[in-house]
Structure 1
């Protein structure tokens, strides 16, 4: 992880190095970091700032995941969790403020969409490779999570 700055980022500051379910651990890291930063420094980590972090983080993530994938010899290595982090920050940005129960539902739904990859998420995962592909399928999983919540709130 420490051999290149891109690895530190793409591997979620070490959260992706978990031997068990690194994607889930990376998503938990996203949840914890979003919650701590937003609660500790609400004047800094507001909606506007989070939007900027997510957009910039997405594009930096494309680069970092591309570099890490090439160095590891696997385009979408399981230890790369920056895609989960950015995507779940996006989910939390739209879902919060919410109770722990609602946030947990968002976590479970996001992980479901990310792991199962129902259509069209699986299509994007298969069609797009490299850093862009790594980041894109998780953004689509975040979109489906948010779509579910939108429909749930509607009814």
Structure 2
């Protein structure tokens, strides 16, 4: 079941996910092929990368975010075009980038990873304004990515508030 009328359910897995490296990346290394909650699985796949990104200097993590976001605009648009769909629910590169945004400048540790995961999923699923509007009205690779980028920004702001209130857990 999808929440977007033009979104193809993840149950309809194109075989190209396993043969085309761009499709494999867009589908979160295959996590987007899982039949239930592919966005949640894609978000989980992003988590092991975060300790690696946190080893970068702050500006390096910021640069990585910019590059993966720009790459995602192209990648998600290309794969959607290749599959001849507006958006496939199994395309989860956008969730991965949203997770990485959420945890930029957040302390290291499994508690912060778990809280960040939950906060990002909350905003990605709830889609408060303007995320919902963008999800419905912006198309192509930018549209696929932008709602999750904004969910990541909202989650990042919430995480920064938690860091400020609770400090290092």
Q: In structure 2, which of residues 114, 118, 142 is the aligned counterpart of residue 108 of structure 1? A: 118
TM-score for both structures, normalised by structure 1: 0.85
Q: In structure 1, which of residues 52, 56, 63 is the aligned counterpart of residue 74 of structure 2? A: 63
| Aligned-CA RMSD value | 2.0
Cα pair distance change 1:96/1:17, threshold 3 Å: farther
Q: Aligned partners of 2:86 and 2:57: how far apart in 1?
A: 33
Cα shift readout 1:66-119 (whole Å, capped 9, x = no counterpart) = 11111223222111111011111111122232x422321211110011112121
Tell whether the 8 Å contact from 1:114 to 1:138 is kept in structure 2 after alignment.
Answer: yes
| Residue 30 (str. 1) matches residue 41 (str. 2) | no
Tell whether the 8 Å contact from 2:69 to 2:97 is kept in structure 1 after alignment.
Answer: yes
Question: 1:25 Cα deviation (Å)?
Answer: 0.9
Question: 1:14 Cα deviation (Å)?
Answer: 1.4
Q: Aligned partners of 1:16 and 1:112: how far apart in 2?
A: 18
**SS state at 1:31 partner:** helix
Q: In structure 2, which of residues 79, 103, 115 is the aligned counterpart of residue 92 of structure 1? A: 103
Higher helix share: 1
Tell whether the 8 Å contact from 1:30 to 1:85 is kept in structure 2 after alignment.
Answer: yes
5+ residue gaps, structure 1: none
TM-score for both structures, normalised by structure 2: 0.78
Runs of 4+ in 1 over 3 A off after TM superposition: 2-5, 150-155
- Aligned residue pairs: how many? 149
Partner of 1:4: 20
Cα pair distance change 1:46/1:137, threshold 3 Å: same
